[in-house]
Chains A and B, each alone.
Chain A
Amino acid sequence: MSAHAKKAVEFQRNAADAEGHDRAVYAVRAKRDAAARAIADDWENLRTLASDIKRHTITHLDVYAEKFAANAEKNGIHTHWARDAADFNAIVLEILRRHAVRKLVKSKSMLTEECGMNTFLAENGIEVVETDLGERIIQLMGLAPSHIVMPAIHIKRERVGRLFEEKLGSEKGNHDPTYLTRQARIHLRHAFLEADAGLTGANFAVADHGGVVVCTNEGNADMSASCPKLHIACVGLEKIVPDLASLGVFTRLLARSGTGQPTTVYTSHFFHPRPDGELHIVIVDNGRSEILANRTHWETLKCLRCGACMNTCPVYRRSGGYSYSGTIPGPIGINLGMLRDPHANAGNVSACTLCASCDNVCPAKVDLSTQIYRWRQDLATLGVADPMKRLMSSGMHFLFTHPALYVAAQRLSPLLNALPRPLVYNRLNAWGRGHELPRFPKKSFARLLNEGIV
């Protein structure tokens, strides 16, 4: 059993919660479909353009990265370059220390999750307050996000109510979402005003203009970047796009794909520091330049981090984000995990039915399922293949390449129907765990054909 499958069993243990998760996530997928249909004449063209722009940018990333940084500097933005997670965390800490920052408000950033920044900053005496509601809930619970766009999708309102009673002093037994959101608003207001610095991620970095674009619904990135005088924006190299015209394509796709909205409420463009303020941009590599050289998997860099692939994935919906190892779950997470560390994350690659639904919803046309399939082919070479599956595969190979044996096996197969269950479904039949055998017909199709029946 793969590491993912074991955790999925845990997740499924609470059947009601698991079903609720499946339904909530699929509802977002349905909203995405409606949003795409509303601009049906444009949709496929937009996806093709998005893929083409990303392919172009990635195959010229050296040029665009340099251009982006040069233009940002020209605008009076301080740019920093981080090779890896340790570099990145150290750079941010250094900026914070130089400004004597004690409290930092932060809007959602998967890049900082990837690099373990919150833990690092806390260890160094910085109080970090996540300001996206879902992210704050997760942070107060001491958990990691289970989805990249809806981090607390797996948490019931009652649990949030109890959490806020304990941490924010909200009313006992009140778990109305509107009430709880209001409590968080009041709590976070104080944080925005008390904080000495704000840190945001970035959805796009525009090379022509040397600035970043941040999309949110809550307005928390704008509060983080407008209340304290110091703003640090973190951007992974793959977020670079050439120009404003590219944003025309991506902003039309991002929210429609991710949450089924025609746009996020706020699409904020930070191209210069604000009056009396300071803007720092940290450009982070952390393995991205390696992916660039990967002949088979380089197109993973096209990902916009919209979350559409996880919303549509039948395995993600039924197993939850925590069943996956690595920072990001779902189809894109399986691929990114393998690129980062195949030995640590090989347990994810079986979490795919190869249904290819993710390929069809991806706004940048990343061929997610094909890439997962390729990773599976590499498991033996990487030395992380499941020995039981290898044994079964070589058994099947032997059977399928020996016709006489195959025909004999087929004739005998109806006998299996009559065998008592424990004889068929036992520890020796690893395949039978979670799978049901079909009923074998008395006569195979080949025999029916030979006898002139079909």
Chain B
Amino acid sequence: MASKEEILSKLRQNVRSEKFAMPDLSNVRGIHFADKTAAFIKMSEAQGAKVEILPPDGHVDDIIRRTFPDAKSIVSNLSGITSATKNQDDTKSVYTLEDTDVTVCEGVLGVCENACVWVPQRTRQRAAYFICENLVILLDRACLVDNMHEAYRRLETENIDWGCFISGPSKTADIEQALVLGAQSARSVLVILI
């Protein structure tokens, strides 16, 4: 740890005597939407994701079976997902998740300004969220916020070990700026608003 002390003492020595104050971020308001659900759906679709609203008497499994009729491997560790063929927490090796058609997971927060959904770890194998062909995220409609300032304010109270804002399918424009959905991670994302 010699270099730690060396670097820190160099920082202490070189840091400017002129100090700048931290701006107050507690009241940054940011963009707001009159109809949060409509705004979230519109933005998600612009990002290439799909959104379905669960009808009052509907069931998530019905939507999953209807949307992915050919899916052989459906992975989830959520209770009550009867369509699931595998629980990722039962496996020690990511190899067994290689051919996952659909992963079903839970989001805890949706952001209207950019379609981000906060997906916390809540699993031993978070690879399940990325290695799948299609990702389904369940999200409570009451958990939509307007913008990232509000989102991070909510996250202050969460115990974050790992978490990811996911806003749609994996994409790239690395070949001549041509947009292609489905780069290294999920090729489609379906958010089911509950």
Binding site for B on A (CB under 8 A): 24, 27-28, 39, 41-42, 45, 49, 52-53, 55-56, 58-62, 65-66, 69, 75, 81-83, 87, 131-134, 137, 150-153, 155-157, 160, 177-178, 180-182, 184-185, 188-189, 192-193, 209, 211, 217-220, 222-223, 226-227, 237, 242, 244-249, 251-252, 259, 262-272, 274-276, 283, 285, 289-290, 292-293, 298
Contact = CB atoms under 8 A, between A and B. Distances in A.
14 contacts: A39-B113, A52-B22, A56-B22, A59-B20, A62-B12, A65-B8, A131-B184, A153-B177, A157-B175, A237-B11, A265-B170, A266-B165, A272-B161, A274-B161
Nearest to B18: A59
B25 interface: yes
Contacts of A276: 92, 124
Contact of B127 (A42, A157, A209, A227): A227
Contacts of A39: 30-31, 113
Nearest to A191: B184
B148 interface: yes
Interface in B1-52: 1, 3-4, 6-8, 10-16, 18-23, 25-26, 28, 30-31, 43, 46-47
Contacts of B167: 262-266
Contacts of B164: 222, 266-269
Nearest to B10: A289
A83 B156 CA distance: 33
| Residue from B43, B46, B160, B172 whose CB has the most chain A CB atoms within 10 Å | B172
Interface of B: 1, 3-4, 6-8, 10-16, 18-23, 25-26, 28, 30-31, 43, 46-47, 92, 94-95, 98, 113-116, 121, 124-127, 129-131, 147-149, 151-153, 155-156, 160-178, 180, 182-186
Contacts of A268: 162-165
Contact of B166 (A28, A131, A248, A266): A266
B43 to A, nearest CB: 7
A97 B170 CA distance: 32
A259 B167 CA distance: 15
> By CB atoms of chain A within 10 A, which of B6, B20, B129, B178 has the most?
B20
Contact of B14 (A153, A247, A293): A293
A226 B180 contact: no
Contacts of A150: 173-174, 177
Nearest to B14: A293
A271 B162 CA distance: 6
A56 to B, nearest CB: 4
Contact of B172 (A133, A193, A227): A133
